[in-house]
Amino acid sequence: MIMVYNTFSDTKVEFKPLKNNEVSMYVCGVTPYDNVHLGHARAYTAFDVIKRHLIKRGYKVNHIQNFTDVDDKIINKAVEQKISVKELSQIYIDDYFVEMDKLNILRADVYPLVTNSISEIIDFIAVLVDKGFAYQTGGDVYFNVEKFKDYGKLSKRKLSDLKAGARVEINDEKLSPVDFALWKGAKESDPSDASWDSPWGKGRPGWHIECSVMSSKYLGDEIDIHGGGADLLFPHHENEIAQSEAKSGKQFVKYWIHNGFVTINKEKMSKSKDNFFTLKDIFNQYNPRIIRYYLMTQHYKSPLDFSYANIDAAKNALQGIDDAYLRLSALSKSLPLKDEALIKVRENFLAALDDDFNCEKALSYLHEAKNLILNEIIAQNTDRLGQLKTLFEELAESSLGIVLPSQGKSEDVQGLLDDRNKARKNKNWAEADRLRKLIDEKGYKITDNPDGSSVLTKKI
């Protein structure tokens, strides 16, 4: 039984999808106007583990993740760089895939673009206008929040309080300061590829309507999981609920899942605060495998405070996993899992992920398996080592997406290792130590097994 913390109810509840063996999951994507950063990596690693575990538990996951490829920030930067909005957004969409592939993030089934969904967005807004939930003023169309009686039910905010202290721009044309834009009339300065014809004049969609339309287009009016960062809960997800349920009359989302922020000195990492680290920069310092491991060391709902010390701790932990796995691979091939103690480790690991996808706890069982490997290497129990190899690969790679290392090495390093083995055989310990240092300088470490064999591990 999978338990999920549902932001809507603020409780952990049993996961029961709308269809028995299928899960519909919509995850809010990036606005591609700059390089992806560590906060993005936190979100998409969290939902990658969720997706992997649902697949492991037998579900077919229909996963949609959008790109908001038209936006004020994109328009401003495109104008500044004297290129089209489409060209600018494509640069950063490409960057997204390059960096997320390094993190071993499974691809979504579809990555819809706002600019490819304009006709559906216009049709959606027209229905809201016809039903009396939206109104036109000038070239803009707004959602009338007062018409949706349950507004605030996700964020637990009262409409009266929102009106009193509305953190929204003052606009005399709106009926209420909390009404939000569904369609924005074009400005004279807008690039030609940033506006479209509509019944309300030339313009472009508001931010919130886009996700409602793209999720319904690919997944239907009712979906199982809608996810994103905690910063999207209000107003973005709240507004999605209002416009989606106003149109369909159905419950939009069954389970709302929000990941915690990456913080620096307890303050949210974000582009607007200029306190963010791009993945490109981080990957120049650390192997992406280390960053993926680091992002799973806290429960996805909790804030993750950035520090180089914590990343270095993740690096050391992952190095230990690599060392154990390579020693294991040198001694045994994968065998079917039969040992009851090992089956119990697997059950505990999956139970941790069943409990609201608790990666932090699941990692502890991966390290338990690692320690069992080291014990069995000492005991030289080949049969149990083969079963451990099967278990370890399932836990690390299949469930957590941690790519395990291979024995690949350059010819010169292999030659040095062969020479060292000869020196050890001849009990020439000084030469063996000299060769170990040379190998270390080339970025490898040596581990000697009880049977006399030596394993090279690439340092990460």
Residue 169 has pLDDT above 80, yes or no: no
Give the tens place of pLDDT for each residue, 273-319. 677 789 999 999 999 999 999 999 999 999 999 999 999 999 999 99
Q: How many other C-beta atoms can be found within 10 angstroms of the C-beta atom of residue 123? A: 10
The sign of the CA dihedral 7, 8, 14, 18 is negative
Mean of per-residue pLDDT scores for the chain: 92
Q: What is the pLDDT of residue 331?
A: 87
Cα dihedral: 413, 414, 418, 423 (round 10): 20
Higher-pLDDT residue of 430 and 9 is 9
What confidence category does residue 409 fall into, taking pLDDT thresholds of 50, 70 and 90?
A: low
Answer yes or no: is pLDDT of 382 > 60: yes
pLDDT exceeds cutoff 60 at 170: no
- Predicted TM-score (pTM) of the model is 0.91
Q: At 105, which amino acid appears?
A: I
Helix axes 38-56, 288-295, angle to 10 degrees: 70
Q: Is the pLDDT of residue 460 over 90?
A: no
Q: Give the best-scoring range by mean pLDDT among 163-177, 205-219, 316-330, 397-411.
A: 205-219
Nearest CA-CA partner of 223 in 231, 210, 213, 232:
213
* DSSP track, 239-304: HHHHHHHHHHSS--EEEEEEEPPEEETTEE--TTTT---BHHHHHTTS-HHHHHHHHTSS-TTS-E
Give all strands (DSSP E) within 7-161, no chain letters.
Answer: 11-14, 22-27, 60-65, 134-137, 140-143
The amino acid at residue 351 is: A
Per the listing, tokens 């269809």 go with 19
- In this structure, are residues 439 and 416 in contact, taking their beta carbons and an 8 Å threshold? yes
Check residue 168 and give its pLDDT: 47
pLDDT value of residue 171: 59
Q: Which two tokens stand for residue 448?
A: 């000697």
Higher pLDDT, 351 or 165: 351
From CA 336, how far away is CA 282, in angstroms rounded? 39
Average pLDDT estimate for 206-235:
97
